[in-house]
Amino acid sequence: MTDQIGRAGPGGTLAVESGTLLAMRLHWAARRSGLLPYLIFALVFVLVATPVVFLLLGSVSAAALPGDFSLLDLTLRNYAQTWLDPSTYALFGNTAIYVLGSTALGITVATMLAWLVERTDMRGKAWVYACVPMTLAVPGMLQSMAWVLMLSPRVGFINKLLMNAFGLSTMPLNIYSFGGLIFVEGLRLVPTAFLMLVPLLRGMDPGLEEAAAAAGAGPLRVLHRVSLKLMAPGLLAIVIYQAMTALEIFEVPGLLGQPAGIFVFSTRIYAIIASVTITPDYGDANALAVLYLIVAVLATFLYARVIARSERYAVISGKGYRPQLQRLGKWRAAASLLAVAYLTLSVILPFIVLVYTSFLSFIQEPSAKAFASMTFKNYAQVFHTPSIGLAVQNTAVMVAVTATATTLLSFVISLIVVRSRFWGRRLLDQLAFFPTAIPGIVMAIAFIWIFLQFDRFGLPFFGTIWSVAVVFTVSFMAYGTRAMNAAILQIHKDLEEAAYVAGAAQWRIMWRIFVPLVLPSLAGVWIWTALHAINVAGMPLLLTQGPRNQVLSVMIWNMWDNGYLPLVGAVGTLLMIFLGFLALATRWIAFGRGPTAADTR
């Protein structure tokens, strides 16, 4: 390069141009590194560190209520009562059974579906690829409620059908059990695991699989002895991530475990706070939440270690290849049946049950009499009840604020992390990812202590939909920054620098060049956040107070508790239809176009 500059034309034109370009690059970088990175860093640090600090302080507080908190009144009594209580360690056993069982079921089904879609000649692969992610549109709360209606030991439709068909004297199945929890949560874990496994299988060189097949090994033997071993590192990371998801979830164990006295960490913490028979013990709840947080942080650390070392086990070839699809032969029909069975159990049956229930005046098993008595009054009540309309309005506002705040904050954080020379950009990236390690119930309890301090200054924030929006934004920030980091890394800096050299102002470069290129990712993050803000019920149950601040998830939960099951069916049916369209938008914007032409042969 030095020789080229020395041999430049008269006046060293090339050297001048190179120096000018370098100066412009440095100036462009300097202009982008101003006060904004420090403000964003401070904001993220406060949003992440403050709840953790208050969680720890609350766990050693002797105050009966968070609003009475004082630094002069600290004690270790809460830890002694909670951590030395034998029932606390029973929670470990319950949580381990629930998390390990549901993770094993979800990963097994997802692995089989992903392998069938990517590596076999199964019929209808394009439909499977499109429909499995769509099951994300089914909220865990509504899915659990539908399975209660089917497998309840008292009124379960399927149980009564089996009793009549086989002349049984008792209900054969009970959804209020460990088996029920594992079954429903396992179904919920499949779509995310499937989406993570498909690219893993698609990018893996199938040479060893083809060699095993040529040696006479059958499809199942190839899957067990070759494919799974090649996928082991990536599969382990997915297993840990899914276990973290099951550990955090509240709705399934809340609806199916609590009635049977089966408590896991999330439901036990909720039971302490939401108790109506005794005064809630916030100190004990915080001490238990700290133990829960330690478990989640260790799982997150293990996940990060597995991801960091995964390059040692790279199985993607540097050469172009076109995998030969496994011929299923007589198993082809069974493969299609597996996909149909999963979609039926996870989406079709719950939706049908909710629709059926929504037309009833009271819960009754399907019969000619039940169908003859169907009515639209539940749907009329949905559209004419002011409290339901207010809940819809609150939900719309909360979701819009949460999704917009999460998307904008994630975009700015990723812009600083990927594009700036800010000294703390890596620490900022780690801070933004840290909420992944904080379960939703734990995050909610931590923020309760913060929000109730506002009341001392005449700022009533706790119990409003704005408090829910803040906590959701912090929780969803980790996903938003991961998605935006990947999107911004794909945009070459030359586009921005060329516009700057041409004299475009910084705001114009951002608006005319940068934003249009990342718009699909922005839209994907917004819709994903909106979808999850509507689905999650645990945090709103703890953070909202009073009927005027109810959101849909809280209202559905309360209606279920009060026995308004047909009305739950009507609201749930309409909500699932709406979420289905949102999931379609997410699928179209964020998940790509699906399998290649070779995959759909």
pLDDT digits (tens, 9 = 90+) for 241-254: 899 889 989 999 99
| 357 CB-side CA count, 13 A | 30
DSSP 8-state class, residue 345: I
For residues 296 and 439, the answer to whether their CB atoms sit within 8 Å is: yes
Rounded to an integer, what distance in angstroms lies between the CA atom of residue 433 and that of residue 425?
12
| Cα dist from 582 to 411, 474, 481, 527, 590, whole Å | 21, 22, 21, 7, 12
For residues 424 and 30, the answer to whether their CB atoms sit within 8 Å is: no
pLDDT of residue 523: 86
* Contacts within 8 Å (CB) and 24+ apart, 511-519: 517/491, 518/411, 518/484, 518/487, 518/488, 518/491
> pLDDT confidence of 360, banded at 50, 70, 90?
very high
pLDDT of residue 328: 79
> pLDDT confidence of 223, banded at 50, 70, 90?
low
Mean pLDDT of 304-324: 57
User: Is residue 74 classed exposed, middle or buried when 0-12, 13-18 and 19+ CB atoms within 10 A define those classes?
Assistant: middle
pLDDT score of 315 more than 90: no
For residues 24 and 32, the answer to whether their CB atoms sit within 8 Å is: no
User: Is residue 20 classed exposed, middle or buried when 0-12, 13-18 and 19+ CB atoms within 10 A define those classes?
Assistant: exposed
Q: Could you give the angle at which helices 13-32 and 493-501 cross, rounded to 10 degrees? A: 110
pLDDT of residue 276: 54
pLDDT score of 353 more than 90: yes
pLDDT of residue 494: 66
pLDDT of residue 323: 59
pLDDT of residue 204: 66
pLDDT score of 576 more than 80: yes
CA neighbor of 552 nearest in space, from 569, 582, 572: 572
Give 341 or 546, the one with higher predicted confidence. Answer: 341
Mean pLDDT of 15-20: 42
pLDDT of residue 454: 82
pLDDT of residue 45: 95
Rounded to an integer, what distance in angstroms lies between the CA atom of residue 203 and that of residue 318?
11
pLDDT of residue 601: 40
| Cα dist from 525 to 220, 265, 403, whole Å | 37, 29, 8
In this prediction the pTM is 0.84
For residues 513 and 430, the answer to whether their CB atoms sit within 8 Å is: no
> What are the tens digits of pLDDT across the range 37-61?
999 999 999 999 999 998 988 888 8
Here the tokens at position 504 are 């475009």
List CB contacts of 314: < 8 A, sequence separation 6 or more. none
**Residue linked to tokens 């999107």:** 487
- R_g of the chain, CA atoms, integer Å: 27
The three-state secondary structure class of 152 is coil
> pLDDT confidence of 128, banded at 50, 70, 90?
confident
> What are the tens digits of pLDDT across the range 69-111?
666 677 888 888 888 888 888 999 999 999 999 999 999 999 8
Cα–Cα–Cα angle for 436, 439, 444, nearest 5°? 115
Q: Which amino acid is at 512?
A: R
CA neighbor of 115 nearest in space, from 189, 193, 188, 186: 193
List CB contacts of 203: < 8 A, sequence separation 6 or more. 316
Rounded to an integer, what distance in angstroms lies between the CA atom of residue 151 and that of residue 99?
21
> What are the tens digits of pLDDT across the range 429-464?
999 999 988 898 899 989 988 898 887 777 788 889
Report the mean per-residue pLDDT for the chain: 82
Lowest mean pLDDT, pick from 113-117, 196-200, 531-535, 594-598? 594-598
Give 176 or 314, the one with higher predicted confidence. Answer: 176
Rounded to an integer, what distance in angstroms lies between the CA atom of residue 102 and that of residue 190?
10
Q: 478: left (phi > 0), else alpha (psi -120 to 50), else beta?
A: alpha
